[in-house]
Amino acid sequence: MNINILDAIMNLVNDPIIDVKEYSDSRNRANSMGAALEEYIKDMFAGTITTTNTKERMKRFSEVFSYSGNQNNPPDFMIRNGDAVEVKKIEGMGSGLALNSSYPKYKIFADSPMITQACKTAEEWEEKDIIYAVGVLPKNNRLRQLTLVYGVDYAAKEEIYTRIKDSIKNGVNEIPGIELSETKELGRVNRVDPLGITYLRIRGMWGIDNPLKVYDYIYEPNLDKEFNFMAIVNINKYNTFKNKNKFENFIKDRTDITMESVEIKDPNNPVKLIEAKLIKYSL
């Protein structure tokens, strides 16, 4: 079983959900809207959008996913023998994504210190492509826009971010006359005051522009529609999907979903263009 992004898109089109709160409440699945969005994205990939039986859904999840994580460590879930997925909720089309202490990921690696031990041992793996699933979910709890993009098409390679992180950390360590502690954060300064009872934690708070802004040169949502969806898949990744013919037949006779060939900027070298597929759906 090799579930991929194309399966998720077909499931979305067959059973689109706009009112995320109603969807979540009817199944008793989550309290917060961020968690409810994550559950919906899981259902998209698992093909359980209309499944109301909890045991059946759990069984399907155990077949499709090898890992489902927590809010503090990426990714949110991993597809067995497939991609990892990180879900982000924002309230407005122009809002950025708050990544907190985790810099953007172009891929995830099993030896990364940022992932949990349960994630590392969930299956036999060394690296995975990661999909950022970004939902625009205003306070009315109705999903306005959903975007799926791969980290390799969205974020630069890891060394770009770690270079900045390490430079800041090393700079803090070189400040004379302060007492430092070992930490996974950028730094911790101890005994700041004369009593020696105050400490300063120095944390990185990463953020990234949302894909609607990053890809505005090839995609613009139709604001006359109640719901818009967009996915970008680079051509090398697209050509690995065994179900691409099924997907192309699925969209062939539909007017609400389209796929076109585009060129996107390489996140590591913007003057280099990458062939990709742009998939659009509106409701």
Tens of each residue's pLDDT in the chain, 283 residues? 689 999 999 999 999 999 988 888 877 666 688 889 999 999 999 999 999 899 999 999 999 999 998 777 889 999 999 999 999 999 999 999 999 888 999 999 999 988 999 999 999 999 999 999 999 999 899 999 999 999 999 999 999 999 998 898 889 888 888 888 888 788 889 998 899 999 998 888 899 999 999 999 999 999 999 999 999 999 999 999 999 999 999 999 899 999 999 999 999 999 999 999 999 999 9
Where do we find the tokens 């009593």? 195
Structure tokens given for 204: 């990185």
pLDDT at 88: 96
For residue 16, the SS3 value is coil
Q: What is the pLDDT of residue 1?
A: 64
Please work out, in degrees rounded to the nearest 5, the angle formed at the alpha carbon of residue 121 by the alpha carbons of 117 and 126.
105
Cα–Cα distance list, 99 to 73, 135, 203 (Å): 10, 15, 12
Largest CA distance in the chain: 74
Contact status, residue 192 vs residue 135, Cβ threshold 8 Å: no
- Location of structure tokens 């742009």: 278
Rg (alpha carbons) of the chain, rounded to whole number: 21
Q: Is 40 helix (H, G, I), strand (E, B) or coil?
A: helix
pLDDT at 69: 82
Q: Is residue 197 in a domain?
A: no
Confidence (pLDDT) at 30: 63
Q: Which residue range is the domain that position 251 belongs to?
A: 5-157+207-282
What DSSP string runs through 120-188?
A: HTSSS-SEEEEEEEEEE--TT-B--EEEEEEGGGTS--HHHHHHHHHHHHHHHHT-TT-EE---SSSEE
The answer to the question of residue 27 being in a domain is yes
In a domain, 184, yes or no: no
Pairwise CA distance, residues 241 & 29, whole Å: 31
Give, as one character, the DSSP assignment of residue 215. T
Q: How far is the C-alpha of 126 from the C-alpha of 55, rounded, in Å?
A: 31
Cβ pair 93, 137 in contact under 8 A: no
255 domain residue, yes or no: yes
In a domain, 224, yes or no: yes
Residue 238 lies in a domain: yes
Distance CA 117, CA 255 (A): 45
DSSP structure class, residue 2: -
Number of domains in the chain: 1
Place of tokens 């309230």: 91
DSSP at 19: B
**Which pLDDT does position 29 carry in this prediction?**
65
Looking at the domain assignment, is residue 214 inside a domain?
A: yes
- Tell me whether residue 140 is in a domain: yes
Residue 209: exposed, middle, or buried by beta-carbon count in 10 A (0-12, 13-18, 19+)?
A: middle
